[in-house]
């Protein structure tokens, strides 16, 4: 990639000594110069990616008070300096303005410039750079010109969670032609149609493309093992000389775009982000997320919780009715006594969906990162997040111990804690509007285990819960442990309906990372 260029233009001048045309000398009073070639010595060079290569060409224009002295003079790089046939003018005391640009165009000083539609072989020929210097006199000293990027760059950093073969990156919706003024300032050609650019792959995880500055809503696409995956980018103003980074996560069947402000060797252009177009409107007693309304309530712990189960499906992901299918990690719920998932709209509306950690956090959970999701927004709407262990305990008052703890964690000040139940009564939360429903779980107890639905009916005779599923889990975001078998566990809140817990018990227990659980988001602390 072409870095910011600072070039020195070195005017090496000699003139004739005496009247013999074969002899040359510099007259110190600046009266006249004769046949002195203009050469350019780059202070920073540009070749394959960051340096000039032999044969690279730039165009130079020299303008004096009387008018243009050299028009689009061709200078070529020989490995150390740029040189050509242009000579300095004779009047050494007269000043001039020098303007230069890259890459050279033989048709004349360009009034427009187009980036290449196919930049897969490299972006250098699409990177228009230019600079100028004023009040310049012919001199043996170097004349420094600071060259600047006149277009913009987009860098794609790609995290390939799915292990796909990523072959081609494209960005659509971009005008490829810019109009140039006399100072090489650019503006997107209003008569040009938007087109598509194939980006250059610089590493297994990085692509880049040079684009014309403009305001546009781009669409990026990547070929993943033969499958085209696309994502629309929010409409943004792309400015000249700025570099924009787009971080992308490739999941099975999904392309997730996140934000980054990392800028290298260009001005900071801010961020470009994903246009998810997911509706989210929040009200006092509910919010609407992707067209679905969810009840919310401030519970006695002082925090606002979802009091209905999440059923949101991110773009590119799908719901499965097969507990052995972990492609997306989202499953239909199961009702008490059923042998298969319930896929009807009424059941999903009442029970929500089941999610594993991959679906919940948007990335794979591993033994190296499982402790890093504490309080993550994950699949929840903006301003909400997947509950932490501490937030669950502050609600129900009891958790099994963490590996580094000597005893179970008990919070007797939790508003729903019941010492007899060693946790909270489901009935007590429901009395405050919690609205418990039994969803069952998809149980996968090891990294190589096969999932199965667990939908055992509650044994309690307590009328409100007769016949519902006895075990329901709400996924949490706090890492718990990695077992000796390699199973990764987080903390989640679970129910127990037994003879000992007739009103149903809520407590915090270990949740397997591959298993499917209900999700109730909690609002960020206000």
User: In this structure, what CATH number is given to the domain that contains residue 45?
Assistant: 2.60.40
pLDDT for residue 405 is more than 70: yes
pLDDT for residue 133 is more than 70: yes
In a domain? residue 1: no
In a domain? residue 425: yes
Are both 141 and 251 inside the same structural domain? no
Residue percentage of the chain with pLDDT more than 70: 84
Distance CA 18, CA 26 (A): 11
Structurally, how many domains does the chain consist of?
3
Cα–Cα distance list, 405 to 157, 302, 400, 402, 437 (Å): 39, 27, 9, 5, 32
Are both 404 and 477 inside the same structural domain? yes
- pLDDT per residue over 200-242, tens digit each? 999 989 999 999 999 887 888 888 888 888 777 777 788 888 8
In a domain? residue 40: yes
- pLDDT per residue over 263-308, tens digit each? 234 565 555 555 555 778 898 999 989 889 999 999 999 999 999 9
In a domain? residue 474: yes
In a domain? residue 305: yes
Cα 476 from chain centre: 25
- 15 falls in which pLDDT band (50, 70, 90)? very low
- pLDDT per residue over 320-337, tens digit each? 999 999 988 999 999 887
- pLDDT per residue over 409-422, tens digit each? 999 999 999 999 99
Are both 241 and 285 inside the same structural domain? no
Q: Which domain holds residue 245?
A: 152-271
Cα–Cα distance list, 133 to 32, 35, 84, 299, 443 (Å): 21, 22, 19, 68, 71
Are both 394 and 295 inside the same structural domain? yes
In a domain? residue 413: yes
More confident residue, 114 or 93: 114
Are both 316 and 460 inside the same structural domain? yes
Are both 383 and 488 inside the same structural domain? yes
In a domain? residue 455: yes
Task: Tell me what pLDDT residue 390 has.
Answer: 97
pLDDT for residue 482 is more than 50: yes
Query: Which residues are CB-neighbours of 199 under 8 A, at least 6 positions away?
Result: 119, 120, 154, 156, 169, 170, 171, 207, 208, 209
Phi, psi for 426 (deg, rounded to 5)? -55, -40
- 435 falls in which pLDDT band (50, 70, 90)? very high
Task: Tell me what pLDDT residue 112 has.
Answer: 96
pLDDT for residue 7 is more than 70: no
Q: Are strands 112-114 and 177-180 parallel, antiparallel or unpaired?
A: antiparallel
Edge-to-edge order in the sheet of strand 148-149? 142-146, 6-11, 37-42, 82-87, 67-77, 57-64, 96-102, 129-136, 148-149
Are both 134 and 172 inside the same structural domain? no
Are both 242 and 322 inside the same structural domain? no
pLDDT for residue 28 is more than 50: no
Are both 142 and 159 inside the same structural domain? no
Q: CB-hemisphere CA count at 13 Å for 256?
A: 17
Quote the pTM value: 0.53
Which of 8-17, 36-45, 190-199, 212-221 has the highest average model confidence (pLDDT)? 190-199
- 45 falls in which pLDDT band (50, 70, 90)? very low
Q: Which of 287, 174, 193 is nearest to 236 (CA)?
A: 174
**Chain mean pLDDT for the chain:** 83
* Average pLDDT of the residues in 485-505: 92
Are both 468 and 380 inside the same structural domain? yes
Query: Which residues are CB-neighbours of 72 under 8 A, at least 6 positions away?
Result: 59, 60, 61, 104, 105, 108, 109
Query: Which residues are CB-neighbours of 228 under 8 A, at least 6 positions away?
Result: 221, 222
In a domain? residue 409: yes
């Amino acid at each position: 990639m072409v870095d910011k260029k600072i070039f020195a233009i070195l005017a090496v001048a000699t003139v004739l000594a005496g009247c013999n045309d074969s002899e040359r000398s510099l007259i110190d009073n600046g009266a006249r110069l004769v046949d002195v070639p203009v050469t350019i010595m780059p202070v920073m060079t540009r070749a394959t990616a960051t340096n000039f290569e032999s044969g690279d060409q730039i165009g130079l224009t020299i303008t004096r008070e009387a008018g243009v002295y050299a028009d689009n003079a061709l200078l070529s790089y020989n490995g150390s300096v740029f040189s050509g046939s242009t000579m300095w003018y004779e009047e050494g005391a007269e000043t001039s303005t020098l303007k230069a640009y890259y890459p050279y165009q033989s048709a004349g000083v360009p009034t427009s410039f187009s980036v290449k539609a196919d930049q897969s072989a490299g972006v250098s020929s699409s990177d228009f750079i230019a600079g100028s210097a004023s009040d310049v006199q012919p001199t043996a000293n170097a004349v420094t010109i600071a060259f600047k990027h006149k277009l913009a760059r987009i860098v794609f950093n790609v995290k390939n969670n799915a292990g796909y073969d990523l072959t081609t990156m494209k960005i659509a919706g971009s005008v490829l032609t810019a109009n140039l003024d006399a100072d090489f300032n650019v503006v997107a050609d209003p008569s040009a149609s938007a087109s598509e650019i194939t980006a250059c792959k610089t590493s297994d995880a990085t692509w880049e493309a040079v684009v014309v500055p403009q305001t546009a809503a781009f669409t990026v696409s990547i070929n993943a093992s033969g499958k085209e995956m696309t994502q629309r980018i929010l409409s943004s103003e792309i400015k000249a000389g700025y570099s924009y980074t787009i971080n992308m996560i490739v999941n099975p069947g999904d392309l997730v775009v996140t934000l980054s402000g990392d800028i290298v060797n260009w001005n900071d252009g801010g961020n470009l982000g994903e246009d998810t177009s997911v509706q989210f409107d929040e009200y006092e007693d509910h919010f609407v997320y992707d067209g679905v309304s969810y009840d919310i309530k401030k519970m006695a712990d002082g925090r606002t919780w979802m009091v209905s189960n999440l059923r949101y499906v991110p773009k590119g992901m799908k719901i499965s009715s097969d507990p052995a299918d972990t492609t997306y990690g989202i499953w239909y719920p199961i009702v008490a006594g059923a042998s298969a998932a319930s896929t009807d709209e009424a059941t999903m509306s009442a029970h929500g969906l089941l999610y594993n950690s991959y679906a919940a956090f948007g990335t794979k959970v591993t033994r190296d990162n499982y402790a890093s999701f504490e309080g993550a927004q994950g699949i929840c709407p903006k301003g909400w997040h997947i509950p932490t262990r501490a937030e669950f305990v502050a609600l129900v008052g009891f958790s099994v111990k963490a590996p580094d703890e000597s005893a179970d964690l008990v919070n007797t000040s939790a508003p729903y804690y019941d010492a007899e139940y060693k946790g909270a009564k489901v009935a007590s939360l429901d009395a405050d509007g919690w609205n418990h429903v039994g969803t069952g779980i998809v149980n996968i107890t090891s990294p190589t285990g096969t999932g199965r639905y667990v939908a055992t009916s509650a044994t309690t005779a307590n009328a409100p819960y007769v016949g519902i599923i006895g075990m329901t889990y709400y996924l949490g975001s706090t890492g718990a442990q990695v077992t000796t078998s390699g199973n990764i566990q987080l903390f989640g809140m679970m129910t127990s309906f037994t003879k000992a817990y007739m009103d149903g018990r809520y407590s915090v227990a270990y949740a397997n990372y591959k298993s499917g659980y209900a999700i109730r988001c909690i609002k960020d602390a206000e």
